Amino acid sequence: MNSILDLDARLSSQMRVAEKPGALRAIAVFFAHSGDSWFWAIGLFAIWISGDSFWKQWAILQFASICLLVVMVLVIKFSIRRKRPEGEWGQIYRFTDPHSFPSGHSARAFLIATIASGLGPGWLAIAIWIWAPLVALARVAMGVHYLSDVLAGALLGILIALIGLQIYLPLFNWAFKLFGFSLW
């Protein structure tokens, strides 16, 4: 197991740009922060306030799924207690959550992408599927996660989203038909 963790640390270190000034670092900072929970909470609230019934449902499902995901990520993090890589960037993350496995940002990004795929529109799903791996890679590049953290987070986010869609779609299709509406 130590050889796998050593390989993970070496690969993650090779991807790191946190200490290297320039455009690549600036892009990594942007994507690393774009998965922040406060950003998505504000965005989903704005969608819920201004959207029609489809977008309100979309925002509610995303928000509820993110809340469930947060609980699961924290349970895993505080069970495993893997320390984050050493570094200066991302002190807010290091202070509020010293554990790195799994990556909550990666889990959230891939959950959002998976739900967007299940609840269209297609253009949005494509855009979010391009964004999600960039968030994950940026978290490694900025030195707040190891590569295995973001891979585990991505898999967890996809899994929770797929389970959520299996519950959500039949339940809400049934409720909408009962009241004479159609979800699609």
Closest CA to 35 of 173, 125, 131: 131
Residue spans of alpha helices (H) in the chain: 2-15, 23-34, 37-50, 53-80, 91-96, 104-118, 122-141, 147-178
pLDDT tens track for 93-136: 877 888 889 999 999 999 999 999 988 788 999 999 999 999 99
Q: Tokens at residue 39, please?
A: 């950003």
pTM: 0.84
Residue 143's SS3 state is coil
- Burial class, 82, CB count within 10 angstroms (exposed 0-12 / middle 13-18 / buried 19+): middle
Q: Which amino acid is at 78?
A: F
The per-residue pLDDT for 110 is 97
- Burial class, 107, CB count within 10 angstroms (exposed 0-12 / middle 13-18 / buried 19+): buried
The full set of domain ranges for the chain reads 35-178
Q: Tokens at residue 110, please?
A: 């891939």
The per-residue pLDDT for 64 is 85
Decide which of 28 and 174 is more confident: 28
pLDDT tens track for 22-45: 898 899 889 998 888 888 889 889
